[in-house]
Amino acid sequence: MEYAVMKNSVKGLLVLGSGSKEEIFEGHYIGAELKEPVSGEIVFNTSMTGYQEILTDPSYAGQIIAFTSAHIGNTGVNPEDVESKKIYARGVVLAEYCETPSHFRSNATLDEFLKKNNVSGLYGVDTRALTLYLRERGVVPGHFTTEKFHQEKRIPKAFAENHDWIMEVSTKEPYWVKAQNPKYKVVAYDYGVKGQLLRELQMRGCDVLVVPADYPAEKVLQTIKQEKMQGVFLSNGPGDPSVATYAIKCVKELLGKTPIFGVCMGHQILSLALGAKTYKLKYGHRGGNQPVKNLAKSSVEISSHNHGYAVDAKTLPNTAKTSHVNLNDECCEGIDVPSMNAFSVQYHPESSPGPHDSSYLFDRFIDSFAR
């Protein structure tokens, strides 16, 4: 298939694997000039909308995102739809790029946004073939390069599988996010928190104290007592949850002492703190169209996901029960720990830009304050 090419666009390569097992996808670059090959874990996202929110989700740190949606860039970018202060993904792969966006809120093109964040993108790629490759073989490390770099065998050093991405994206100092009409106060552990998660708590009257991922549990409990706070929120974040031993230790010390609600990485950290185990999925769940069954209500939610690891439900202690399951592969999508007033879900209930089937979970968190 042929794609429209921008004027003065530079040819580029996406290389998966190495040596005799190399798989090469060709395209053209947008965004920042590629001065050296850039490596990352190649993953695909099946969302039809929300590319700006996806690119600024800190959970994509260390990864190159391939969008399965055929056209990206149509609505440009705007200052309102960012989820963090910058793009944390290491690159983006597109089928067809729209260089002339049309939307009343747009103030820049995706190309300009990538350049501003010093991130490269490759378009004109057969993303359908790429997705099939990843679906069959699983996520793999890869890198952006040029024909010249490839011939010179200039290959970037890949990050180790057990690299701690959380501490690279977490805040370094605590800060407050205030509600207009405050009714409650909560602590939020920042493992790579999305802005919309904090806004959902704000909209429900929560003043939120955002703390670093390794913030000691003792300090959190002191703050909860001094500030008369109601609960602890565990955010989303990137990478392997088992590497974050500091976060697991903190949550273990908080269990049973305050209401806890975890999302995505927060779900995995909570489960590990309970003694469960996690494992890496073949190609992860990334997209805004994942069907999840709420076992208590016997209802189905269409939900937004971005994770490469999952909780092994068979290793959960008797105090915890599976509350949600994925209808595609039946993996654990949520747990409930009634005796400790804690619960979590693997997916994103804030779902920016959507769907919004699961926003009731924030209300459940508020209700847990009265227990």
pLDDT digits (tens, 9 = 90+) for 81-109: 999 999 999 999 999 999 999 999 999 99
**If we measure between CA atoms, which residue out of 93, 62, 97 comes closest to residue 77?**
97
pLDDT in tens, 209-228: 999 999 999 999 999 999 99
CA distances from 156 to 18, 94, 106, 143, 150 (A): 11, 22, 35, 7, 11
Taking the model in full, what pTM does it have? 0.95
- Decide: 305 and 287 in contact? Cβ < 8 Å: yes
Q: How far is CA 39 from the centre of its chain?
A: 18
Under 8 Å between Cβ of 76 and 49: no
Rounded to the nearest 5 degrees, what angle is found at the Cα of 238, between the Cα atoms of 237 and 240?
115
Average pLDDT, the chain: 94
The set of catalytic residues is 264, 348, 350
126: nearest Cα among 59, 28, 195, 220: 28
Residue 327 banded pLDDT, cuts 50, 70, 90: very high
Residue 120: closest CA among 146, 141, 138, 98: 146
Q: How far apart are CA 174 and CA 220, in angstroms?
A: 11
pLDDT digits (tens, 9 = 90+) for 29-74: 999 999 999 999 999 999 999 999 999 999 999 999 999 998 999 9
Quote the CA–CA distance of 362 and 357 in Å, as a whole number.
12
